[in-house]
Amino acid sequence: MHFVICMFTSLVIFAVSVLFTEIFPKWFKGLLILMGSYTTGYGVMILIRKISELTSAYKEPWLFPGVWIASGVSLVVIILVKIYLNKTLDKRLEKREARRAKQLAKWAEKDKAAA
């Protein structure tokens, strides 16, 4: 249950940072992302700890050193996804502008032909 609560909290933090992008300053959005990645890392480590308790496959891992590692990994993943999404969004915007320019040129030709 602890895992589910941590993941829900993390998703809410990320949703708030995305929904209120224009309202919050950049430093506050960065703080939200850090809080979300820490919560995600904590939830992942709780899940790993519970799995290790249930399976008895290996010694129970320490919680807090693992939290920092999992938080760092989730923060890197968030940064990489943001970079990827920004690149694809830029490409989409360029394609949209090119289509729009073509459409405007067609309409201008039709207006000249009609006049």
What pLDDT does residue 59 have? 67
Mean pLDDT in consecutive groups of 10 residues from the start of the chain, 115 residues? 84 84 82 84 83 73 71 81 83 86 86 76
C-alpha span between 11 and 43 (Å, rounded): 12
Q: Cα separation of 7 and 53, whole Å?
A: 20
Do the domain assignments include residue 70?
Answer: yes
Q: With respect to residue 68, please indicate whether it lies within any of the assigned structural domains.
A: yes
Contact (CB, 8 A) for 64 and 44: no
H-helix or E-strand spanning residue 76: helix 63-114
SS3 23: coil
Give the structural domain span for 64. 2-90
Cα torsion for 12, 3, 68, 23, to the nearest 10°?
0
Total domains, the chain: 1
